[in-house]
Amino acid sequence: MNIGAFILRRLLLQIFVLFGLSVFTFLLMFGLPGDPAAILYSAGGSLGFEEYEHFRQKWGLDLPIWKQYANFVTNLLKGDMGTSLVTRAPIFDQLKSYFPATIELSVVAFIFALIMGLPLGVISALRRNTWIDHTIRGISLFGVSMPIFWLAIILLIIFYYHLGIVPSSQRIDLDMEIPRHITGFYLIDTLVDGNWRGFINSLHHLVLPAFVLGFSVVGLLARVTRASILEVISLDYVRTARSKGLHEKTVIFRHVIRNALIPTVTLLGLLVGGLLSGAVLTETIFAWPGVGRFAVQSIMLLDRLAVVDVTILVGIVVSTANLTVDILVAFLDPRIRY
Amino acid sequence: MNKSVKYQELNLRPKKSVFTELYDAIKINPPAIFSLVVVILYVIVGLFGELMAPYEFDAMGAGAPLEKPGLQHFFGTDEFGRDVFSRILAGGRISLRIGVLVVGIAGILGSLIGMISAYTGGWVDETIMRVTDVFLSVPDLVMALVIATSLGAGIDAAIIGITMVRWTGYARLIRSGVIAEKGKDYVVASTALGLHPNRILLRHILPNSYTATLVQATFDFGLAILFASGLSFVGAGAQPPVPEWGALVASGRQYVQAAWWIPVFPGFAIFGAVIAFNILGDTLRDFLDPKLRHSMDQKN
């Protein structure tokens, strides 16, 4: 199949899926019995009765659900994600400020997971059925089975409460100046401004959350790498490479690993999903001001519009990652392209 | 001796029951034994945990508040002086119920939908697959979180939430299994013999494609426990004072500086149960995959 047609088809499918996702979450949030505005009116009394009435009218809460949905989509296409019920700030602005925090955390976690996971998988495969292999498989099993929030708490007990060598929350010390907003990634923004103290400090804040988040996917990465190396290593062309007298190192690095990494690339899409759902828990524990924590807060306060928006955002990120992976694999593996 | 030689000559293996074979498979695999023991223990705790507990799980002042782990209270006490060990034992039932319900409902519902999808084909199949796409477009935990809270947080809401994201896995598995079997000769033969499609599906195709589902179900049992604890941890699942393990970790969080044991021990319960189901799933997969089973025989 022509790669252009392939991408177009995937793109259309993606739009359809996102449409389905928006309908589903919208129905879930607005279709169920209960009054979306009442929680604010009743609970903390952040709305007065008139404001409450005004709110109901603005979002057309008395209209039939499909009209509400049409209203929502029209606004969304115009770039208006609506206003948060809780903070009463535009949801778009909030997501814009939280998004870089989550990306920064996830990217560092991801780098950590790659540095740990890939070599572990390769070593495990090359030393198959030795104690090294068993130990590494044990580690990845731990990573897959461990409740990530529990790991975070244990590490906090050790490194924060007892040793006192890492901060427990936030992206930067509270008494430090928040870096000037350039990209929203503190590590980059501080570097650009030559603010070394800020850079070190935000890195310091990142270490523990990123480790916890990364560890949750190391196991997955190591497992898939191991399996895919084992699959490639027994293929004929590897035997050919060996029998023509190539050095074992050359065989492994030039022939085996290169081809074995293709299935691992497919995994990246899955990893993005894993990191995002891990971020929900990690950000909650480390009070990390990111999309995950915002999602939990909106969900718990039934800030319905915010929930729908966040879900769609997450859907866009995950499906874009998957699409990118598919295209990447098509380029890496000519068998799929032609 | 003579008999076994004969089997070898014929390149046959003595006919063993499935259970004997499974036993043989586990025998040579210590982690599998460990996981089986833990799973059995887990089920026992789930069924009789409250009876085995040294204290009432909700008895305040069973000990002094925040008492360290010791002989009186193995895992210490929480801020109300409740016995942490007893609370974990009582939480076993909740966790077992979550696992059974999620895997049971998602497995049965998902398999049914998958069968319908594969066997009907056409637009029905297309629609069902696109619906699974929608569910898979957001990470499981996020979707479960949204569903659970929209139903009003609680254990049952969490169960429904997790079930609604997990059925897709079974639907896809069974669908691909049935499609793979559908073209095989024995199915064509059954059709030619004039058997009713339902009968072919239930009596012939299904028994041949259930193995992957069984493995999936084992993994999912652990996953359900993990997810439910995560949901409870952020507050969308079990609500205090229910002694669900994730909720226990969450409520112990604020006392972590003074009393590390409150969140740490319940976490071990989650971790132990999940890892046991994961190892069991691995063992089962190796066992049910004929290619791997062959290599296992050779190792013997």
Question: What pLDDT is attached to residue A39?
Answer: 60
Supply the pLDDT for residue B294.
44
pLDDT above 90 for A208: yes
Q: B85 falls in which pLDDT band (50, 70, 90)?
A: very high
pLDDT in the model for residue B300: 30
* pLDDT score, position B1: 45
Nearby residues of A266 by Cβ (< 8 Å), 6 or more positions away: A325, A329
pLDDT class of B10 with cuts at 50, 70, 90: low
The pLDDT value given to residue A270:
81
| Residue B299's pLDDT band (cuts 50, 70, 90) | very low
**pLDDT tens column, A148-175:** 999 999 999 999 988 988 888 888 887 7
Nearest-Cα residue of chain B relative to residue A293? B234
**Cross-chain CB nearest to B146 (options A28, A141, A319):** A28
Q: What is the mean pLDDT of residues B170-194?
A: 85
Distance CA B104, CA B218 (A): 11
**pLDDT tens across A182-201, in order?**
888 888 888 888 888 888 88
Note the pLDDT tens digit of each residue in A77-87.
Answer: 888 888 787 77
For A263, other C-beta atoms within 10 Å of its C-beta total: 17
pLDDT at position B25: 67
pTM: 0.86
pLDDT above 50: residue B52: yes
Question: Percentage of chain B surpassing pLDDT 70?
Answer: 90
List beta partners, residue B77: B83
Which residues in chain B are contacts of A277 at CB distance < 8 A?
139-142
Does residue A40 carry a pLDDT above 80? Answer: no
pLDDT over threshold 60, residue B181: yes
pLDDT at A235: 81
| pLDDT recorded at residue A210 | 95
Per-residue confidence (pLDDT) for residue A334, from 0 to 100: 65
pLDDT-wise least confident of A138-142, B59-63, B96-100, B235-239: B59-63
Q: Residue A293: pLDDT above 50?
A: yes
pLDDT digits (tens, 9 = 90+) for B107-159: 999 999 998 998 888 899 999 999 998 988 888 899 999 999 888 878 999 99
pLDDT averaged over every residue in chain A:
84
pLDDT at B217 over 90: yes
User: What pLDDT is attached to residue B295?
Assistant: 42
pLDDT band at B296 (very low <50, low <70, confident <90, very high): very low
Q: Which residue has the higher pLDDT, A99 or B181?
A: A99
Nearest CA in chain A to B142: A277
Positive or negative torsion for Cα B45, B49, B53, B57: positive
| CB pair distance less than 8 Å for B145 and A280 | yes
Asked if A302's CB is within 8 angstroms of B234's CB, the reply is: no
Both tokens of A39, joined, read 């929680």
Query: Where is pLDDT greater, at A103 or B5?
Result: A103
B57, amino acid identity? F
A338: pLDDT strictly greater than 70: no
CB pairs under 8 A between A and B: 124
Q: Which of A6-15, B20-29, B247-256 has the lowest mean pLDDT?
A: B20-29
Question: Which of B12-26, B30-44, B153-167 has the highest mean predicted lDDT (pLDDT)?
Answer: B153-167
Contact A263, A223 (CB under 8 A): no
More confident residue, A231 or A109: A109
d(CA B24, CA A162): 47
Q: What angle do CA A244, A246, A250 make, to 5 degrees?
A: 145
Mutate one of B142, B227, B296 to test the A interface: name it (highest A CB count within 10 A).
B142
First to last CA, chain A: 6
Residue B95 has pLDDT above 60, yes or no: yes
Examine the pLDDT at B9 and tell me if it is beyond 90.
no
Chain B residue numbers touching A135 (CB-CB < 8 A): none
The confidence score (pLDDT) of residue B109 equals: 94
pLDDT of residue B41: 92
Give me B86's structure tokens: 């007893």
Question: By the 8 A CB rule, do B212 and B59 touch?
Answer: no
pLDDT tops 50 at residue B288? yes
pLDDT at A68 > cutoff 50: yes
Average pLDDT of span B36-40: 91
Whether residue B263 and residue A277 make contact (CB cut-off 8 A), yes or no, is no
Helices and strands (DSSP H and E) totals, chain B: 14, 0
Cβ(B209)–Cβ(B143) below 8 Å: no
Asked if A32 lies within 8 A of B264 by C-beta distance, the reply is: no
Residue A336 confidence (pLDDT) above 80: no
CB A166 within 8 A of CB A210: no
Percent of chain A whose predicted confidence (pLDDT) is above 90: 28
Higher pLDDT, B191 or B27: B191
Closest Cα in chain A, distance from residue B290 (Å): 17
